[in-house]
Structure 1
Amino acid sequence: MADLILHYDRKTSPLKRVHGVNNGPVCYGSLMDVSVYYEKAGIPLVRLHDTNWPNPGEVDIHTIFRDMNRDEDDPASYDFSRTDEYIASVLATGAKIVYRLGESIEHTKVKYYVHPPADMDKWARICVNIIRHYNEGWANGFHYDIRYWEIWNEPDNPDRQCMWSGTPEQYYDLYRIAVTAIKAHDPALKVGGQAATMVNMPFTEGFVAYCRQHELPLDFFTWHTYADDPRQIEANALKARKLLDDAGYIQTESHLNEWNYMRADEGANDEIWRQLWKPGGETFRRNLFERQKNEEGASFIAAVFAMLQDAPVDEANYYDGQPHELYSGLFDAYCIPQKSYRVFEKFESLSVYSSRAEVSVRAEGLYALAMTSENGQSALWVSNFSGESREYTIELEGSSMSATYPTYAEWELLDRSRDFGQVEPARLKDGRVELFLPRNSVLVLRFGREANDGQAAE
């Protein structure tokens, strides 16, 4: 029996380009710049949060409007300069933007900016003027047509009030005031929240109920999951969708706008997790973040990309894209692309196919998606995230009498020793291919009817 079956003639929907990231391609005062890699990977959507963390000098409200005593309608009260430059660097890569209106995370004992605004109505007017600057040219601004505007980040975060020092009700009020002001200014903009740390927490349930009770717009709902199993993300996607649908927000988009691979060392317990950021946790910390960059993290990313194709998720943003050591699995501190980045780059190559095709997975620990085009060229994307290291049988199911039925196959693999790039022919016999897939590997298997020129035609 085949482990995977590609039903190449059963076309479904187009590819979901879910390989967005948090933050742009520059950091350390633009000294580090990975713009060329963002372009190669075709990063479709960049969410601006924790930009240039831990010393953000742009995006956050307090970095733009520095003195809350000043007149919010006076352009001279704003300093857009650093944020202008940063946003330009993002848009230059071809990506769209989700602009988080709020503040970056604060792990310091003293919290400086993550408090509820003393004057929420004024705060909302400041947000509107930021929108005017980037979309309408106000204050020597631009016409970028940024559509997504997110109100704050993780007000439900339970870690020492690092994102919100107020009550849930204060956040709900802030959202109501902000969304009302923004929609009154431009109803076409998409406004959302709450950037939930956990989708099933009472805070989040209360937020959606509050929005429903006050009949508030909720164009997109944002939520986060850091996991060691793709099924955790899938389960949260279903919870988020059900929460929205049950409240009548059937048209509300669901955005997984922070996610990453978080797996402890074997045998780690709760006490070790609590020591992650404390003296004594250095080795554990290093191993955890290095896993995000190597073949283990890469195969997790590939599995999530496949799983999200049929999950109720509209957009996704990996955390984090900017090149630094913590949570940035795509690059090292010197901007060298890691195996995880190579998965983003290879995933973008699937965009040349016109539609997805059905694929059946019959082996535990494997995740797959398939692409196809009218001329018979097809591609199978497989992540062996947690399956056995063994030879797998892949079957191509369709009419062998068809003029577009594939006659050849070739493959590339990412694993511990390879980063794609080396294309190998595969023996296609009776519509079957057998390939050895190590655990924590990513396979791209292509089918066609003639010598592959490296392009999949429409």
Structure 2
Amino acid sequence: MPEVTIDFTKEIGAIKPMHAVNNGPIKAKSDQTRGNFDAYSAANIPYARNHDASFCSSYGGEHAVDISAVFPDFVSDPENPDSYDFVLTDEYLKTTLDAGTKIFYRLGSKIEHWSKKYGTLPPKDFQKWAVICEHIIKHYNEGWADGFHWDIDYWEIWNEPDLDPDDSDNKRTWGGTAAEFYTFYAVAARHLKSRFPHLKIGGPALAGQTGKWLDGFLASLTKNGGRVPLDFFSWHIYTTDPKRIIEMANVIREKLNRAGYETTESILNEWNYVEGWTDQFIHSIEMIISMRGAAFTQASMCLGQNSTIDMMMYYDARPCAFNGLFDFYTYRPLKGYYPFFIFSKLSKMGTQVQADSDLGELYTVAARGKDGKCAAVICYYPQDGNAENQAVTVHTSGGKGGFDTFLLDDGHDFEKTGITELNGNEAVFHLKPNSILFLTQ
């Protein structure tokens, strides 16, 4: 019988923000009323990256977030407040902040799948682009141009510049070459870090090219004895195996360390359940909104907590095919909402404690609060589609006795199943494949 062993007295460190997302909530309007603001707020999501926000009309659509939306005429004077259109971006960011979620601001453009490109073309003047970004930061953090003092700390330069090779006929995210991006990043990062040394400046939201492209990027940062700022390194992976996430995280951490960026944060700010991008894609998005997608999400968070990753940001909380949290039409919570709600409970307690499983398909994290309250999540996510139910023995030490138990599976929406009294500090739970158990006291 598989076993999970939890020692609530053995502290490991802080619970990390594994339950961050891309994009924010939607407030219901006076008519055609639907929204997810209350549920989003209840999940206590720590950060929301605003990449691809301009695809969503509820966020402001084409008039929000992207540099080409905020600064629509590149020949304009970047020192003149009249050159900027902040209105809808202001509203969108405020809604996110009102939900208790911090902003992770992506400076650049949404992905452009169509034949003609707009915001993904390399800026005609790299330094001017950096100055424009400087004034966007001033607007949101220093009150410039009737702005705010929101203390947005993460500022990401571009998105997935490695997605397509230099000789591609359809470059969806960066219209130039790899070498041009390396120069562009250096210009922007140096300027922004010199102007805002207290903020976290980084990027480049790597699409997944951990070989030649990444090696070239890291080498460019220290070329000729210099050192380009890289407070965080952001990267992406789409898979069905949480262990693949950790494999990539380890490669990235090793390469950052070797390049001299040992203290640079490793931030996975796009990830989700994807079997493949062609014939398997339709099935993938069906799974994203299913209990299997929810179990994948929870399992990935658990592994991420015990890895070199500093933050994970699920793609996507925006109404789209990748949103496993909220129904596309009603915005009501789906199965995939609850892993975020669960991890927020652990995060509030603050301190991770020892929790181990002797079965590789059982993923677990446990936490303890300063008030002595304890909690643990156990997720059964097998790779085998024909996997059987498991009777799991849970051993605990250092807790207060019985646990309130909550179950998420095909038949339960994070429902309280009762109070489990431990028999000699152990209890047996029967879990279906793709199910999540939460214990709290």
TM-score (normalizing by structure 1): 0.88
Identify the range of structure 1 (379-388 vs 411-420) with the bigger mean alpha-carbon deviation.
Answer: 379-388
Change (3 A) 1:13 1:199: farther
C-alpha spacing 1:297/1:70, structure 2 compared with 1 (3 Å): same
Does 2:138 correspond to 1:126? no
Q: What is the CA distance between 1:415 and its match in structure 2? A: 0.6
Report the counterpart of residue 102 of structure 1 in structure 2: 108
In the TM superposition, 1:209-358 aligns within 5 A as: 209-213=219-223, 214-263=226-275, 273-275=277-279, 285=282, 287-322=283-318, 324-333=319-328, 334-358=330-354
Structure 1 residue 412 corresponds to structure 2 residue 406:
yes
Q: Partner letter of residue 160 of structure 2?
A: E
- In 2, distance between residues paired with 1:58 and 1:28? 19
CA distance in 2, matches of 1:60, 1:302: 31
- Please give the alpha-carbon distance, in whole angstroms, between the structure 2 residues aligned to 1:418 and 1:2: 23
Q: State how far apart, in whole Å, the 1-side matches of 2:207 and 2:43 are.
A: 27
Distance 2:62 2:275 in 1: 28
Deviates more, 1:346-355 or 1:383-392: 346-355
Corresponding residue for residue 201 of structure 2? 191
Equivalent residue number for residue 401 of structure 1: none
What is the CA–CA distance in structure 2 between the aligned matches of 1:354 and 1:114, rounded to whole Å? 40
Counterpart selection for 1:141 from 133, 147, 169: 147
Residue 391 of structure 2 aligns to which amino acid in structure 1? Answer: E
Deviation of residue 136 (structure 1)? 1.0
Give the match's secondary structure for 2:171: coil
Q: Comparing 350-359 with 294-303, which one deviates more in the overlay?
A: 350-359
Q: Does the CA-based 8 Å contact 1:289-1:325 persist in structure 2? A: no
How far apart, in 1, do the equivalents of 2:388 and 2:248 lie? 26
Letter in 1 for 2:175: S
Shift of 1:388: 4.0
Match of 1:451 in 2: none
Partner of 1:436: 430
Residues 306 and 368 in structure 1, CA contact (< 8 A), matched pair in contact too: yes
Q: In the alignment, what sits opposite 1:18? A: 18
The residue number in structure 1 matching 2:68 is 62
Q: Deviations over 1:98-148 (max 9, x none)?
A: 111111000101212211111111111111111111111111111111111
Q: CA deviation at 1:185?
A: 1.4
Q: What is the CA-CA distance between 1:169 and the residue it aligns to?
A: 1.0
Q: Deviations over 1:358-416 (max 9, x none)?
A: 11210131110112246654222111011641211111245xxxxxx533233111011
Determine if contact 1:385/1:441 at 8 Å carries over to the other structure: yes
Q: How far apart, in 1, do the equivalents of 2:179 and 2:158 lie?
A: 14
Q: Measured at CA, do residues 114 and 352 of structure 1 come closer, stay the same or move farther in structure 2, by a change above 3 Å?
A: closer
How far off is 1:32 after superposition?
5.3
Distance, in Å, in 1 between the alignment partners of 2:5 and 2:173 is 46
Residue number among 13, 29, 41 corresponding to 2:43 in the alignment: 41
Q: In the alignment, residue 418 of structure 2 is paired with which amino acid?
A: E
Q: 1:183 to 1:325 in 2, by over 3 A?
A: closer
Q: Distance in 1 between the 2:179 and 2:267 partners?
A: 23
For structure 2, the 5+ residue unaligned runs are none
Question: In 2, are the aligned partners of 1:413 and 1:444 still within 8 Å (CA)?
Answer: yes
Partners of 2:263 and 2:288 in 1: how far apart?
34
Secondary structure at the aligned position of 2:267 is classed as strand
Rounded Cα–Cα distance in structure 1 between residues aligned with 2:287 and 2:205: 25
Cα distance, 1:22 vs structure 2: 0.4
Q: Which amino acid aligns with 1:353?
A: M
1:179 counterpart = 2:192:
no
Separation in structure 2 between the aligned mates of residue 377 and residue 81 of structure 1, nearest angstrom:
44
Hey, what's the Cα distance between the residues in 2 that align with 1:117 and 1:376?
A: 54
Q: Does 1:389 align with 2:389?
A: yes
Equivalent of 2:121 in 101, 112, 115 = 115
Per the alignment, residue 368 of structure 1 pairs with 364
Is the contact between residue 27 and residue 52 of structure 1 (CA under 8 Å) also seen in structure 2? no
**In 2 relative to 1, CA 144–362 (structure 1 residues): closer, same or farther, beyond 3 Å?**
same
In the alignment, the residues of structure 1 paired with residue 434 and residue 47 of structure 2 have an alpha-carbon distance, to the nearest angstrom, of 27
Task: Report if aligned partners of 2:8, 2:368 keep a CA contact under 8 Å in 1.
Answer: yes
Check the 8 A contact 1:50/1:56 in 2, yes or no.
no
- CA offsets per residue over residues 5-61 of structure 1, 9 Å max, x none? 112221221211311110111399997532212210001001110004165321101
Mapped partners of 2:125, 2:234: distance in 1: 25
- What number of residue pairs does the alignment pair up? 424
For residues 409-455 of structure 1, the C-alpha deviation after alignment (integer angstroms, 9 at most, x for no partner) is: 33111011101122323242122111101100001123x5xxxxxxx
Partner SS state of residue 423, structure 1: strand
* C-alpha separation in 2, matches of 1:339 and 1:171: 39
Deviation readout 1:214-233 (Å, 9 max, x if unpaired) = 31110000000111000011
Q: Which of these residues, 69, 72, 80, is aligned with residue 86 of structure 2?
A: 80
Q: Give deviations 1:192-240, integer Å, cap 9, x for gaps.
A: 0110011513212211111122311100000001110000111111111
Q: CA deviation at 1:2?
A: 5.5
Structure 2: how far apart are the matches of 1:139 and 1:373? 42
In the TM superposition, residue 96 of structure 1 has moved relative to its aligned partner by 1.0
Q: Note if contact 2:28-2:36 (Cα within 8 Å) is conserved in structure 1.
A: no
Letter in 2 for 1:156: D
Partner Cα separation in structure 2 for residue 433 and residue 83 of structure 1: 50
User: Does 2:176 correspond to 1:166?
Assistant: yes
How many angstroms does 1:184 deviate by? Answer: 2.0
Query: SS of the residue aligned with 1:382?
Result: strand
Q: Distance in 1 between matches of 2:100 and 2:28?
A: 22
Instruction: Give, in angstroms, the shift of residue 259 of structure 1.
Output: 0.8
Q: Give, as a single letter, the amino acid of the residue that structure 2 aligns with 1:414.
A: L
Q: Does 1:50 align with 2:45?
A: no
8 Å CA contact retained: 1:199, 1:240: no
1 CA distance for matches of 2:29 and 2:126?
31
Counterparts in 2 of 1:27 and 1:107: CA distance versus 1, 3 Å: farther
